[in-house]
Amino acid sequence: MSKIGIFFGTDTGSTRLVAKKIYSLLGDELADKPKNINRTSPAEFLQYDALILGTPSYGVGDLPGLAAGCQEANWAEFVPYLDDTDLSGKRVALFGLGHQERYASRFASSLIKLYQVFYGNGAKMVGRWSTEGYQFEHSASIIDNQFVGLVLDQRGQPHLTDERLKIWLAQIKPQLLPALAEAA
């Protein structure tokens, strides 16, 4: 498709709210309305060549889903549909939510699981984010001293979310746009 697809998994609604903010900041000429991954078909998902994907953190760095304690289906139930799917040519940016004080030993660690699925299937991953400004003990979602995507703490640092989103979107937009041009 010639727009950015925004998909999210959520349990409490926080990830959905951030996805809506991203959509609002990008505008409807550049992005389609965000969709809950548990209400999305693989065919609909795969229509997009530029994707922004969001996930909450659940379990001990698990991919969010029923087995990790979510009330509804989430990423864990969707990603098996992508097994053996070649995602070459797709550009993917990730954002994840976490609570750095309460879960300091595994802050936003679910994000790495989503990264591994898409990177492992050939997608070009964009949108790494600095670990500066956060206080936590460990996160599995760090490669080369950066988070694999934007990490937001809606409980401990909600006042930083809007500014982080603006900076991150300015960073990833030029990296996602070539995928839209190639699809057109």
pLDDT band at 61 (very low <50, low <70, confident <90, very high): low
Concatenated DSSP letters of 29-52 = TTBPPPEEGGG--HHHHHT-SEEE
- pLDDT value at position 160? 92
- pLDDT value at position 154? 82
Query: What element of type H or E holds 110?
Result: helix 110-120
- pLDDT value at position 40? 95
Kindly tell me if the per-residue pLDDT of 30 is higher than 90.
yes
- pLDDT value at position 130? 95
**DSSP 3-state percent helix, strand, coil across the chain (nearest 5):** 40, 20, 40
Q: How large is the average pLDDT for residues 64-89?
A: 89
How high does pLDDT run on average in the chain?
90
- pLDDT value at position 181? 74
Top-confidence residue, 141 or 58 = 141
Q: What is the 3-state secondary structure (H, E, C) of 119-148?
A: HHCCCEEECCEECCCCCCCCCCCEECCEEC
CA distance 124 to 16: 24
Count the domains in the chain: 1
Cβ–Cβ under 8 Å, residues 42 and 80: no
CA distance 41 to 52: 16
- State the residue range of the domain holding 25: 5-183
Q: Specify the CATH number for the domain of residue 124.
A: 3.40.50.360
- pLDDT value at position 29? 93
- pLDDT value at position 59? 64
Which tens digits make up the pLDDT trace of 89-144? Answer: 999 999 998 887 787 777 888 899 999 999 999 999 999 999 998 898 889 899 99
**Tokens representing residue 161 in the block:** 């979310």
- pLDDT value at position 122? 97
**Tokens representing residue 98 in the block:** 């976490």
Q: Is 152 strand, coil or helix? A: strand
